[in-house]
Structure 1
Amino acid sequence: MANFGQPRHIAIFLPSLEGGGAERVMVTLANGFAARGHRVDLVLTKAEGPYRSEVSAHVNVIDLNRSRMLTSLLPLIRYLSRERPHVMLSALNHANIVAILARKLAGVRTRLVVSERSSPSGAVGNRATTTMHWLMRLLYPYADGVIAVSQGVAMELVVDFCLDSRLVTAIPNPVAVPEIQRMAEQRPRHPWLQPGEPPILLAVGRLVPEKDYATLLDAFARLKTSRDGRLLILGEGPLRPELEQRIEELGLNDSVELAGFQSNPFGWMAACDLYVLSSRTEGFPNSLIQAMACGARIVSTDCRNGPREILEGGRWGRLVPVGDVEALETALAEALDEVASPDVLKRVADFRPEKIIEIYEASLDLCAARQ
């Protein structure tokens, strides 16, 4: 392993390694810190999930072996009291709350930085969300730093959650382009992806309201009236029955498939003709940069947080208003007809892991981390 300075003991705390963008990012960071000579503990409420196999052999996985986040509080207190890492980085708001409480109750001097991986204001305003937002306002000021995944999320935390702007830093997610491109060579054997088939539109993300697949389906149905094409949506979620019904109502059973969760979506991204993000809100859409790393053309909603920053106002792909079926259909058609596409790999280089990890090291203040 390379050593780029004084090595430190870093703990990264999150619920599990289940299939989400935040989990993959945390694994990338853990592997990157370890490659730079730091001692890294990946502390998990439950050490399970599809990204477990991507964890470097140089990263120590700590399994708290708890079924729920709240029950991991005492094991995390014991871990901090025993190991006393220089720095702990936590991810996802419920893990952040537990991390703040555990650090306080353990009485250790570990520097604590919490991170927000999505738009907190974009969550559905139910009772659980209201309680979580109250806890964030109450407890986040006790962290030594808060990392937001985009400038938009950082602004939300300052404006909507009344955090001191000096506490909040925006750092984009790292994108391991060589690894993604290597995995992209593993093309799926789906019949629609074979040579000579109609153009493929691809979307990746959980089947949840925030992704607004209903608008995408309506726009694709309009597109189908003037040209041939097929739509693949990778992901699982509670809206599957509703989306399946909508597909049938629109007469799209032969041209739309909900292909489920795919642990390696990159082969699909490399094989598609157009990548589409139809979200109502995002924090920082990893899938957008991952698709760009696979060379895909991009159409995205100009939703709150992420896409406009990533695409630099439309320089690297088309931006359309949220929920606008007609505008989305027009953008899809124009992108499919595009002769010369922007070289999106130039933009992806700004998110290379070594660059982002250096920014994280500065934000975590590793050189000044306390014993």
Structure 2
Amino acid sequence: MRIVKEAQGMAELGHDLTLLCPDEAEIGALAKKHGLNVHLLPIGRKKIAALLALRTWLGENPQDVINTHSSTDSWLIALATRMMADRPAIVRTRHISSPIPANLSSRWLYTKSCDHVVTTGEKLRQTLIDVNHFPAEHITSVRTGINLDYFSPVDQSVVRNKLGMDKKAFIIGIVATLRSWKGHRYLIRAFSRFSNKNSRLLIVGEGPQWDTLHTLVDKLGLRDRVIFTNRQQNIAEWMNTMDVFCLPSYANEGVPQALMQSQACGIPAITTLNGSINEAVIPDKTALIIEPRNSDAVLAALEQIYKDNKMISTMSEAAHLNAQKNFSSQQMIEKMDAVFTAAIEINATK
């Protein structure tokens, strides 16, 4: 998770960091597991009680800069700090590409209430500039970085044996929250017509589409060939069992971390150009690009890559090299540190 990786990086740079989250948020336990300082506050909803709790905590624990990551925490921080005499700098990170409402309150939230906005991809940044007309100098794109020591190619037969996967099967995989816009159903329908009947479809993740996708798999008679793993911690191992990674998403993407991770593992991809996906792959070199919401396009790409071993080998090498050059966590941390420093300087002049 980007938030935890950034927090770890800031702590390693010597910054005094606290992660604020509600008790029910899974990120709290994950952050504690990684040795981070976590403080629980009832800030999961936009309520007066949440606003007061946050204002009280900030009054007792002055901060130099606060980084928000969602609509709820952005509004709470904006309002809680509005009348503070010693207001901290505020940086708003925008992770997804869903449209921002064109109204005065949203414009205030993204411009006046914060000192800087970070997007996780350049296309997202350009959308805020071109569509929402936010000032270009107010927004920086910082692509999510990944651990390149962890996400790297390993012997496929070894991890397949460890995870109980068929060593001879052609494995198509996706790692994503089971949401409608990730496009799982288009992948499943394409897989049902895939020519290699000894293939497997590996679906790693959990989410609101769990029951719907299981029903579709049963309807298509694929229960023996589609593997649902639920959420997993050892993502790199699961990725390294795959012959191809497929992400047919059609909305709300930034730069998908799972796609970057699979590229770092040297797994060729089939994906759309939704959101800032083009910053995670090189079209026709590390991935085949398909149009969204199109099972026929998914199937055609699967058949193309399956029947061309040279393409798989060439794309695999190119994907790994591109990731090594562009996807490191250290690059992300250094850029975010510079953003925070600049935001503090901007805030000091107000």
TM-score, normalised on structure 2?
Answer: 0.86
Matching of residue 78 in structure 1 with residue 78 in structure 2: no
Distance (whole Å) between structure 1 residues aligned to residue 332 and residue 347 of structure 2: 23
How far is the alpha carbon of 1:268 from its aligned partner?
0.6
Counterpart pick for 2:139 among 164, 168, 180: 168
Matching of residue 362 in structure 1 with residue 332 in structure 2: no
Counterpart pick for 2:22 among 22, 33, 45: 45
Name the counterpart of 1:68: 45
Aligned residues: 336
Change in CA separation of 1:272 and 1:50 when aligned onto 2, cut-off 3 Å:
farther
Change in CA separation of 1:369 and 1:33 when aligned onto 2, cut-off 3 Å:
farther
How far is the alpha carbon of 1:92 from its aligned partner?
1.9
Change in CA separation of 1:98 and 1:67 when aligned onto 2, cut-off 3 Å:
closer
Please tell me whether the aligned partners of residues 143 and 255 of structure 2 are also in contact (alpha carbons under 8 angstroms): yes
Please tell me whether the aligned partners of residues 47 and 63 of structure 1 are also in contact (alpha carbons under 8 angstroms): no
How far is the alpha carbon of 1:55 from its aligned partner?
4.8
Matching of residue 253 in structure 1 with residue 223 in structure 2: yes
- When the two chains are superposed, the root-mean-square deviation of aligned CA atoms in Å is 2.8
Change in CA separation of 1:180 and 1:65 when aligned onto 2, cut-off 3 Å:
farther
Name the counterpart of 1:346: 321
Kindly provide the amino acid, as one letter, of the partner of residue 292 in structure 2. Answer: V
Matching of residue 201 in structure 1 with residue 178 in structure 2: no
Kindly provide the amino acid, as one letter, of the partner of residue 41 in structure 2. Answer: L
- The C-alpha deviation readout for 1:229-283, integer Å capped at 9, x for no partner, is 1101112222222222211222211111222122332211011111110100211
Name the counterpart of 1:90: 68
Residue aligned with 1:312, SS:
coil
- The C-alpha deviation readout for 1:113-162, integer Å capped at 9, x for no partner, is 101111122xxxxxxx96x9774334211210111111121122223333
- The C-alpha deviation readout for 1:25-84, integer Å capped at 9, x for no partner, is 011001001111111111112375267345576632122145535443222212222222
Please tell me whether the aligned partners of residues 136 and 161 of structure 1 are also in contact (alpha carbons under 8 angstroms): no
Residue aligned with 1:59, SS:
coil
Counterpart pick for 2:237 among 250, 267, 278: 267
Q: Among the aligned pairs, what percent are the same residue?
A: 22
Distance (whole Å) between structure 2 residues aligned to residue 171 and residue 260 of structure 1: 30
User: In the TM superposition, what are the counterparts of 1:196-345 in structure 2 within 5 Å?
Assistant: 196=168, 198-223=169-194, 225-281=195-251, 282-303=253-274, 305-336=275-306, 337-339=308-310, 340-342=313-315, 343=317, 344-345=319-320
Distance (whole Å) between structure 1 residues aligned to residue 125 and residue 189 of structure 2: 33
Please tell me whether the aligned partners of residues 97 and 136 of structure 1 are also in contact (alpha carbons under 8 angstroms): no
Change in CA separation of 1:317 and 1:251 when aligned onto 2, cut-off 3 Å:
same
Structure 1 window deviating more from structure 2 (65-74 vs 322-331): it is 65-74
Please tell me whether the aligned partners of residues 171 and 243 of structure 2 are also in contact (alpha carbons under 8 angstroms): yes
Counterpart pick for 1:99 among 77, 83, 101: 77
> Where does structure 1 lack aligned partners over 5 or more consecutive residues?
1-23, 122-128
How far is the alpha carbon of 1:289 from its aligned partner?
0.6
Name the counterpart of 1:119: 97
Name the counterpart of 1:145: 116
Please tell me whether the aligned partners of residues 27 and 55 of structure 1 are also in contact (alpha carbons under 8 angstroms): no
Residue aligned with 2:314, SS:
coil
How far is the alpha carbon of 1:351 from its aligned partner?
1.8
Residue aligned with 2:135, SS:
coil
> Where does structure 2 lack aligned partners over 5 or more consecutive residues?
none
